[in-house]
Structure 1
Amino acid sequence: MKEINPHDTTRSYAFELWMKAPMPMVTFFKTLDVSRLVRFSRKKRLKFNMLMCWCIGKAATQVKEFYTLPVGDRLIQYDSIAVNTIVANKNGEVSSCDILFSDDFAKFGADYIRLTGQVAETCDNHDLTDSMVIGTSALAKFDIDGAVGMYSGIFNNPFMIWGKYRKHWFKTTLTVSFQFHHTQMDGAHAAHFLELLQKEIMELKIHDI
């Protein structure tokens, strides 16, 4: 990762406009068709949340704006993307776990299982500081319509939240919220990412996993 001059990027105007805004975060909601993920999760005995995180990372790597992030008063460029998941630890609390995204699902899946297991047992967060991290929080036991993330003024990372998926006659849906810093991307970039996420879910093949 390295610091870059915002004025040498396509985010120059956004940097000037939003870096000092009292609330620079924007949240989108989208209902996804996750029938394929649910089916594969059951057939392959894989965690649904792990499949979601992989699809999120795969979609994000196709949007160049994800590789830059405002950190403090600087704009930082990253070479890699990671996906964060919240883990229930052995003390009955929650810990944070960053998993480096790999286009190879077998590698990502193995890292996901190993690292979340490690975090659950040790209760120590696993943080990656040299990757652009997409935060996620899965409230899988609860039927919620949506959630807006908290803006701390410290972490500007994009963040996704979802609850329990909903079963219908012919498909299963999941409503997600996606929060992003307006300096990092515009609404069109965020909407494109969510479209790519749906595409990756729909095109996921059994041999991919």
Structure 2
Amino acid sequence: MPAQQYLDIDNWSRREQYYFFKAYENPFFNICTMLNIKNLLTYCKDNSIPLSHAYFYLSQKAVNEVSEMRYRIHNDKVVIHDHIDAGWVMMKEDGSIRFCYLHYTTEFDNFRAQIEEITRNIEDLPFDSNEQRDDLVYYSVLPWIHFTGLSHAHRMPRNDSVPRIVFGKYKQQEDEVNMPVAVEVHHALMDGFHVAQYLEKLQRFFDGCGDFLV
């Protein structure tokens, strides 16, 4: 588990928002948007890199650079994780799913090696939701759907504060190649501004992918 520290809630500028939204029965909000992956898609094709490997890695880089994406609620405290790993859903040949976990790394080759090892062993992986962990972002991919809206299944009442990010089917639209991205986060911990920071970083990483996928 990554190193962590506790946020000083009493001196936090979002203190009132935190307590206000923390009391909600459903404190999550979801933003769906399109990001242009034209440069990323070209780079991946030219360098024989699976597109999903690239956007997962760049997303994890963006997640870890926005401090609010590393905040989690532990009872009445807010933990700031030193870094965030990735939990993602992968499909087996029979159509069932497995939850897979990737350690955060700044090395793209290391990140790809983790994915490739999981892919080789996916048929033998147990069904492990790892619900005791919150030092994660949950990822899913819907490569069949160019969606414009999305919601998630949750237990009620909700007892987690883990962000959920979903990537969809990309589509050529005029001079862009647009891929839907849905981001669901806990409103007690962040606002639309912080989601925008993540999305802006991710778009910048997509545009300049050659500088990061090395």
**TM-score range normalised by the length of the shorter chain:** 0.7 to 0.9
Question: Which residue pairs with 2:162 in the alignment?
Answer: 157
Q: Deviations over 1:117-171 (max 9, x none)?
A: 3344324437496662111111102332231223431332111123210023433
Which SS does the other structure have where 1:136 is aligned? strand
Number of aligned residue pairs: 209
Question: Are 1:146 and 1:176, in contact at CA under 8 Å, matched by a contact in 2?
Answer: no
Which SS does the other structure have where 1:51 is aligned? helix
Distance 1:78 1:116 in 2: 28
Which SS does the other structure have where 1:101 is aligned? coil
Question: Are 1:80 and 1:131, in contact at CA under 8 Å, matched by a contact in 2?
Answer: no
Question: Which residue pairs with 1:192 in the alignment?
Answer: 197
Distance 1:84 1:42 in 2: 26
Amino acid at match of 1:66: M
- Partner of residue 128 from structure 2, selected from 121, 125, 129: 125
Unaligned segments of structure 1, at least 5 residues: none
Q: Quote how far apart the aligned CAs of 1:186 are.
A: 1.4
Question: Which residue pairs with 2:177 in the alignment?
Answer: 172
Unaligned segments of structure 2, at least 5 residues: none
> Mapping of 1:16-165 within 5 angstroms?
16-125=19-128, 127=130, 132-152=135-155, 153-165=158-170
| Cα root mean square deviation, aligned | 2.4
Distance 1:145 1:101 in 2: 29
Question: Are 1:91 and 1:123, in contact at CA under 8 Å, matched by a contact in 2?
Answer: no
Distance 1:197 1:75 in 2: 25
Q: Quote how far apart the aligned CAs of 1:59 are.
A: 0.9
Q: TM-score, normalised by structure 1?
A: 0.87
Distance 1:128 1:81 in 2: 15
Distance 2:17 2:120 in 1: 39
Which SS does the other structure have where 2:145 is aligned? coil
Q: Quote how far apart the aligned CAs of 1:191 are.
A: 1.0
Which SS does the other structure have where 1:61 is aligned? helix
Distance 1:105 1:128 in 2: 27
Q: Deviations over 1:39-63 (max 9, x none)?
A: 2332233222221111111111221
Q: Deviations over 1:24-45 (max 9, x none)?
A: 1111121100112222332233
**Mean Cα displacement is larger for which, 98-107 or 195-204?**
98-107
Amino acid at match of 1:88: M
User: In structure 2, do the counterparts of structure 1 residues 99 and 9 end up closer, same or farther at CA, with 3 Å as the change threshold?
Assistant: farther
Q: TM-score, normalised by structure 2?
A: 0.85
Q: Quote how far apart the aligned CAs of 1:196 are.
A: 0.8
Q: Work out whether 1:208 is the aligned partner of 2:189.
A: no
**Mean Cα displacement is larger for which, 38-47 or 49-58?**
38-47
